[in-house]
Amino acid sequence: MSLIDRVRYSDFHPLIMSAQAAAELVPAGANVGMSGFTGAGYPKLLPQALAARARAEHDAGRPYKISVWTGASTAPEMDGTLAAADAFEKRLPFQTDPICRAKINAGEMHFVDMHLSHVAQHAWFGFLGEMKVAVIEVLGVLPDGRLIPSTAVGNNKTWLEIADKVILEVNTKPPLAIEGMHDIYYGTAIPPRRTPINMTHAAERIGEAYLRVDPAKVIAVVETHQSDRNSGFAQPDAVSSQIAGHIIDFLSHEMKQGRLPKEMLPIQSGVGNVANAVLAGLLTGPFENLLGFTEVLQDGMLDLLRAGKMRQASATSISLSNSAYEDFERNIDFYRERIILRPQEISNHPELVRRLGIIAMNSMIESDIYGNINSTHIMGSAMMNGIGGSGDFARNGYLSFFVTPSVAKDGKISCIVPMCSHIDHTEHDTQIIVTEQGLADLRGLSPRERAQVIIDNCAHPDFRPMLQDYFDRARQKGAQHTPHILREALSWHERFLDTGTMHV
């Protein structure tokens, strides 16, 4: 199918140009909103053209940097390419690119780590500054100018509304049969004019299938024909399978105790191999007629849909391995009836997460003995990826799990520590911690009760005696609500930085 066949709004035909020509329309210093959410739906060609322009400007002795806002992470041909060209002044709200990470931690670019539910509204409020240009991947343009969304919705609705100018990347690679899978809600407003979001079931549609744009804003249309990142997932190993088993056993117990309905509540799962393993565990678990209400649709949720274990899945993005994406394309008619893609201000909305009773499962870097969670920083200072949507779901979910293997770096690092080196989620937002060693249910426990349960159930045996010793000595003097030995609280991290291990 040609580009003209995809762009059926004739007023846009004179705006069709190369990515290189479109890149010249993005001024230095601009805030640029780009599509993309976890390796899906990001612009493929324009970031590379912008990187080439930045290198040329730098070679000529002229500065050229832009600040880029997205839905979440993108891919090497966007984040990595722009970072390598020193084209980033600032990046928000989330990234997973190793070149970006290195630049951020070297202090060579600014990074604003944000709760994903905050991004669109903070942009609307004007807290982030003026957006000069939005660069949005779409699958096509209808004769009336409406846009067919791509494999991720993210913040695209908001970017199209608030940007001064818009560049469209029309990707002819994904199947046009994705059309109709989306549910774009246009009922949000800025306080004090906000009204409740009229949604009471995870599978409800409350919007429309297309994105809107003011045609007068569109300054360029660029054709691309490229697949998304489509990262693969490792097969569940023993550790991730044990974590999944603990969660499934716990959910079964909660159902027997009457604290969960027999039909189960909607499930949110973070991104990554452990999260995908939990979904794989649900495939063979005792639960039927599951619902997904999450940010990213991964392989495991596709498996659940195909097996009939899950009847509907709502997300803002589809991020699949190559083999799963091939299945998605082959059976697009089947999945279109069972998948809903929404803006992330809906997929991550605290009001909806709380009303729908979401069961949230997210990964962490470390937990301390009192249940404070570090999701973002290595050894207190180095950014890993970002907080993402974990806070949106942890604070508002019906049940919230934080999961991690009990050790890292071949056993040199304990993921359960006396005090976190950085805190993203306080003990007040943490309900359940799970490692391969076991599960700590922290609901209704005091700090000292939480500490003992976490040490007993979640710490690795190699580190459990050290944690118990710290906790016992902390209880011998000082205030006893949350006992700590301040001079030792971060000594485990210091020891690792000095010797390469947390072991004594």
Angle, CA 288 vertex, CA 249 and CA 308 arms, to 5°? 130
Q: What is the CA radius of gyration of the chain?
A: 23
Neighbours of 496 (CB within 10 A): 19
| Region at 230 (left for phi over 0; alpha for psi -120 to 50; beta for the rest) | left
Is residue 295 annotated as a catalytic residue, yes or no? yes
Burial of 469 (0-12, 13-18, 19+ CB in 10 A): exposed
Report the C-alpha dihedral over residues 89, 218, 347, 101, rounded to 10 degrees.
-20
Out of 223, 295, 345, 366, which one is annotated catalytic? 295
Which 3 state secondary structure label does DSSP give 393? Answer: helix
**Residue 157 in tokens:** 């609705």
Q: Could you tell me which residues are beta bridge partners of residue 315?
A: 341
Q: Which residues of 83-92 are buried (b: 16+ CB within 10 A; e: fewer)?
A: bbbbbbbbbb
Q: In what helix (H) or strand (E) does residue 314 lie, and over which residues does it extend? A: strand 310-315
Whole-number Å distance between alpha carbons of 250 and 248: 5
Among 73, 153, 134, residue whose Cα is nearest residue 346: 153
Burial of 409 (0-12, 13-18, 19+ CB in 10 A): exposed
Burial of 82 (0-12, 13-18, 19+ CB in 10 A): buried
Among 500, 479, 191, 185, residue whose Cα is nearest residue 352: 185
Neighbours of 2 (CB within 10 A): 8
Q: Which residues of 319-344 are buried (b: 16+ CB within 10 A; e: fewer)?
A: bbbeebbebbeeebeebbebbbbbbb
**Residue 218 in tokens:** 């569109």
Residue with tokens 């993309």: 36
Q: Which residues of 440-465 are buried (b: 16+ CB within 10 A; e: fewer)?
A: bbbeebebbebbebbbebbbbeebbe
Active site residues: 295
